[in-house]
Amino acid sequence: MASPYLLHYAPDNASLPVRLVLEELGAAYETRLVDRAAGAQRSPEYLVVNPTGLIPALETPEGIISETAAILLWLADRHGALFPAPDNAARGTRLRWLFFASNTLHAELRRLFYAHVYVGPGAADQARLRQYSCTAINRHLTLLNDAMPVGHEPDILDWYTCAMLRWCALYPRDFDRSWFDLTQFPALYTMASHLEDRDSTRAAQAAEGLGPTPFTAPCAPEPPEGSAL
């Protein structure tokens, strides 16, 4: 590849925070669509790249990295930007919330989006799991909102969180999403508003068809290639 990075992505998926951070860093990168509509994430070719069959994966000069939080942290450390350095006293606290966002909030979103994977085809069981997940997600967002540092510069946790705020408002498409109201989390709303004004966000908007207000008032994506599922 001509660029140092190759991002295996699907529109409006867990690869979105990685694209946003690559753009914010000004890093040269290429993308390769993983067509979820065709089940490409389970293809033999992609399983060579990421044996878990999950998106994203990032090819780097040092090898392939998967898992969104791992990619984001690696990029921040590799470029010396967008996260406290290892010798910075603030790093421990931000790491705490980065992994909370990944292991707790993002994991709960997966249960909400893919309830059938966790409880099977029964509509009643799926409804109960989704209701539980909605309550849990609001609780997790409250913790992130209350932990938001005042006046800090945007970092990888902010980009990751903004993508998840977007998904809360949009997915699953067959579910009543009135449970989520971003204005109930003023610190997160302010963060999302600020990040919408950055060139990195505008680049991701164009690349994945995210619409004019992708974090604070998102609309269904209209990607120029692939589909968001």
Residues 75-88: pLDDT tens digits? 999 999 999 999 99
Are the C-beta atoms of 180 and 168 separated by less than 8 Å?
A: yes
| Cis bond before residue 121 (omega within 30° of 0) | no
If DSSP codes are grouped into helix, strand and coil, which group holds residue 65? strand
| Angle formed at CA 64 by CA 67 and CA 53, multiple of 5 degrees | 50
Q: How confident is the model at residue 2 (pLDDT cuts 50, 70, 90)?
A: confident
pTM over 0.85: yes
Architecture of the domain made up of 91-198:
Up-down Bundle (1.20)
pLDDT digits (tens, 9 = 90+) for 135-145: 999 999 999 99
CA of residue 168 relative to chain centroid, distance: 11
Give the mean model confidence (pLDDT) for residues 133-154.
95
Q: In whole angstroms, how large is the CA radius of gyration of the chain?
A: 17
CA angle 2, 21, 212 (to 5 degrees): 110
**CA 169 to centroid of chain Cα atoms:** 13
- Taking residues 146-156, report their average pLDDT: 93
What is the domain partition of the chain in residue ranges? 91-198
**151, pLDDT greater than 90:** no
Residue 56: cis peptide before it, omega within 30 degrees of 0: yes
CA-wise closest residue to 157 among 80, 72, 71: 72
Instruction: Tell me the pLDDT of the chain averaged across its residues.
Output: 96
**5-9/29-33 β-pairing:** parallel
pLDDT at residue 76, rounded to an integer: 98
